[in-house]
Amino acid sequence: MSELATRPSVRTAALSLGSIWPVAVVALGAGAAFFLFPYDLAFLTRIVIMMVFVLSFDLILGYAGIATLGHAAMYGCGAYAAGLVALHISPDPLLGLVFGALGGALIAWLSGLVLMRAHGMTLLMISIAVTMVLQEAASKARWLTGGADGLPGVSVSPIFGWFEFDFVGQVAFIYSVCVLVAVLVFCQLVVGSPFGLALKGIKGSPSRMRAIGTPVYRRKVTIYVLAGAIAGIAGALAAQVTGLVGIEVFNFSLSADVMVMLILGGAGRLYGAIIGTLIFMVVHHVAAAIDPFNWLFVIGAMLLVVVFALPQGLISLPDRLIRTFRRT
């Protein structure tokens, strides 16, 4: 009887350990990068921000099976929200993150009410249209967004009144890593909850989930709003770190790059988003430095190899190698 009583606690401890150690690996990796590449912190910060963005996309594509090409809409709204708050209300960076999340969540909710009723090619086209409309609106509303010139001079106050953003980028990197870790923990809680399990069921068979009484439409809208809030946080981070917001935050290429990063790393496994972003950004950086005109060839070739050799992404490579060695 005592053995049966201890099993749930052992299982809970194992689950908590399995959830904590990958977060610790991310934090330790960021700490190592901070000391190993002290003169590349601006580039490393961009990688961290994109990791937050790709994590948000993994929630809707990897776990709920919602394929869109307009995820930049939430990122851009978060960036503009944070920039406008810093310029006109308060330069507090944490307040900017809150408004960035609200901006991303709001546009996700408004567009999601329509998008989540569509499927396949219709969903893709409408999601692109939403982003294009927002980009055009940002370009025309010069009185609010600055138009094609964007919002220059976005500056934020020291974090908690103590940690001021420095020229080297140390504070910005640490700040972004802290946000990444918080977002990663939150995503783990979401996907490990009954709500997250329902999302996996919806991805596998929406009709079957409806048959057992799951409100599929509401679940999809909810996860779309949550993902939009996280994408808005990524946009707010980018605005605060770079000090500029332009209409390019709504570019279609940004949504496409996010999908490529997730496919490279592996959808439906949060750490696939992190691995895919890291590899894509580093390869992009190196290839573009070598050949600024043909770097896309390298990315395309890498994507083809991963799609055909590792359909589940680079995160599945260790499992594939273990199975191969066991067979031999």
pLDDT digits (tens, 9 = 90+) for 167-206: 778 899 999 999 999 999 999 999 989 999 999 999 988 8
Name the 3-class secondary structure at 244: strand
pLDDT (0 to 100) of residue 325 = 77
* Percentage of the chain exceeding pLDDT 90: 60
The dihedral of CA 64, 65, 66, 70: what is its sign? Answer: positive
pLDDT (0 to 100) of residue 43 = 94
| pLDDT band per the 50, 70, 90 thresholds, residue 328 | low
- Is 5's pLDDT higher than 80? no
Name the 3-class secondary structure at 290: helix
Average pLDDT in the 88-95 region? 92
Task: Tell me the DSSP string of 299-311.
Answer: HHHHHHHHHHH-T
Q: How many CB atoms within 10 Å of residue 197?
A: 12
Spell out the residues 6+ positions from residue 250 whose beta carbon is closer than 8 angstroms to its own. 72, 73, 76, 131, 132, 134, 135, 138
Q: Give the H or E element holding residue 28.
A: helix 2-36
CA distance 114 to 224: 11
184: tokens are 């990663």
Strands (E), the chain: 151-152, 244-245
Distances (CA, A) of 265 to 77, 185, 316, 323: 26, 19, 8, 19
Give the type of residue at 130. Answer: V
Q: pTM to 2 decimals?
A: 0.91
* Alpha-helix runs per DSSP H in 39-92: 41-58, 72-88
Half-sphere exposure of 40 (CA within 13 A, CB side): 15
Mean pLDDT across the chain, nearest whole number?
Answer: 88
Name the 3-class secondary structure at 246: coil
| pLDDT band per the 50, 70, 90 thresholds, residue 269 | confident
- Is 11's pLDDT higher than 80? no
CA distance 114 to 116: 6
User: 3-state DSSP: the chain helix, strand, coil percent, rounded to 5?
Assistant: 80, 0, 20
